[in-house]
Amino acid sequence: MKDSEIDRLLGEVQPTPVPAGALAEAGRELLEEIMSVHSPAEPGRSDQAVPLPTRTWSLARRRLAWVGVAAAVVAAVVVPTVVFGGGGAVVPVTPATQAPTPTPQLPHTKNPYVLLDAPGWEIDHVNESAEDNGEISFQQPETGQSLQVSWTTMDAYESRYEDRLDVSDPEPITLFGANADRFDYGKGEFEVLAPQSDIFLEVRGSSTGGRKNFAGLLEQLRQVPAEEWFAAMPDSVITPDENPSYTEEILAGVPLPEGLPASAFVSGFTNSRYHVEFGVIQRATCAWLENYEQAWETDDEPAMAAADQALAGSPNWEAVRREDGPDPIGAEQYVKAVSQRKSVDGYRSNLGCDDLG
């Protein structure tokens, strides 16, 4: 089933499509009613929460993502064999003859290293998208409950807190020994905002039952030493030391444009396999489209043909072919355009290539 088919199916099951142009008169009346309401903002919870977009924040993250990648590439060269072993220790693996032993290095991220000790719960995914931004998601497969812990820099805290005032009144609680606020979304969904020096945590529980159950889960959250956190990662999560080899594995069979080294794909962050694969496939797709775009502008048929051949084979790239692998969102139309030697204008923003730096 292609993405477009899934989207079409989901589009068809949306509740109650609205007839175009319907209710226009009622809408006009509502507009006049609203505009007759005295303003500016009156005191009240719902008025306090306007979720202003945080573009500057996302741009900052992009830059940091590049810093992270660059750092990882350097790390891959300088300390290629550091592994985070079991038993809570960071184990440097070096040839016996090599001296001195390299100092184990932990990634330079703001990861708060949170684990959940609740019985029956497991790590669903980890997604570090930048040095100071990421999330870890836990789930209870039998009950469908989930708990997500995400972290971002404090400069986003104020607007996030104001947003949540629209959800409910904050209830002060303690998380990891510090003050935090809990917000109630209803239907067993809660969220906690917990500032921690230069980052803050958002802990979101879904289908977690009542307030008491959610509080019980929070009590079982632990911040642990980095080594313990890495040791607790399941096979489905790729730690920074594993990233170069896993990236190499993903790239097997993926043709790369000339001059683009495999090391450009290496990341210094911790991510679920899915997210690592997504990043690699996205970067490879973007690189080929960039090559094609340049070739198209200069009418360089051999270069266009090379991009065409590479992209045409992308559905067979191992990571893409697997059932649980990633899809380069929206790439289908550009692959088709390349095959027809048409313009691929707009691919950078539509495929998120700009976000890659």
Chain residues 122-141 in contact with another protein, contact rule CB under 8 A: 124-125, 127, 129-130, 133, 137
Closest to 161 measured CA to CA, from 143, 146, 179: 179
For tokens 């899809």, name the residue.
Answer: 327
Q: Does 219 help bind another protein (rule: CB under 8 A)? A: no
Smallest distance, another protein to C-beta of residue 160, A = 8
Q: Cβ of residue 89: shortest distance to another protein, in angstroms?
A: 31
Count of residues that bind another protein according to CB under 8 A: 91
286: nearest Cα among 266, 305, 314: 314
Q: Does 270 bind another protein (CB under 8 A)?
A: no
What residues from 89 to 108 belong to the interface with another protein (CB under 8 A)?
Answer: none
- The CB-of-29 to another protein minimum distance in angstroms stands at 5
Q: Which one of 62, 85, 157, 196 is in contact with another protein (CB under 8 A)?
A: 62
DSSP letters for 54-83 = -HHHHHHHHHHHHHHHHHHHHHHHHSTTEE
Q: Which is nearer to another protein, 159 or 220 (CB)?
A: 159
Establish if 153 lies at the interface with another protein (CB under 8 A).
Answer: no
Separation of alpha carbons 331 and 315, rounded Å: 10
Verify binding: residue 33, another protein, rule CB under 8 A.
yes
> Cα–Cα distance between 94 and 152 in angstroms, integer?
35
Kind of pairing, strands 178-186 and 171-175?
antiparallel
- Beta carbons of 2 and 332 less than 8 angstroms apart: yes
| Closer of 92 and 209 to another protein (Cβ) | 209
Residue 3 is a binding residue for another protein (CB under 8 A): yes
Within 334-353, the residues that bind another protein by CB under 8 A are: 349-350, 352
Residues 6+ apart with CB under 8 A from 46: 166
Helices (H), the chain: 3-12, 24-35, 55-78, 157-164, 211-219, 226-232, 243-251, 273-297, 301-312, 318-321, 331-339, 347-350
Residue with tokens 């008025």: 47
- Single out the segment in contact with another protein by CB under 8 A; choices: 221-229, 286-294, 301-309, 319-327: 319-327
Residue 134: strand pairing partners: 128, 151
Q: Which of 278, 296, 334, 347 contacts another protein by CB under 8 A? A: 278
Name which of residues 298 to 317 contact another protein (CB under 8 A). Answer: none
Site residues for another protein, window 183-202 (CB under 8 A)?
184-187, 189
Min CB(9)–another protein separation in Å: 6
Q: How far apart are CA 47 and CA 261, in angstroms?
A: 51
Residue window 39-58: x/- pattern of binding to another protein, with contact defined by CB under 8 A: xxxx--xxx-xxxxxxx-xx
Which is nearer to another protein, 69 or 306 (by Cβ)?
A: 69
Asked if 213 is part of the footprint of another protein (rule: CB under 8 A), the reply reads no
- 142 lies in the site for another protein, by CB under 8 A: no
The label of the residue with tokens 């590049």 reads 66
Q: Which amino acid is at 326?
A: P
Select the residue interacting with another protein from 31, 74, 89, 93 (CB under 8 A): 31
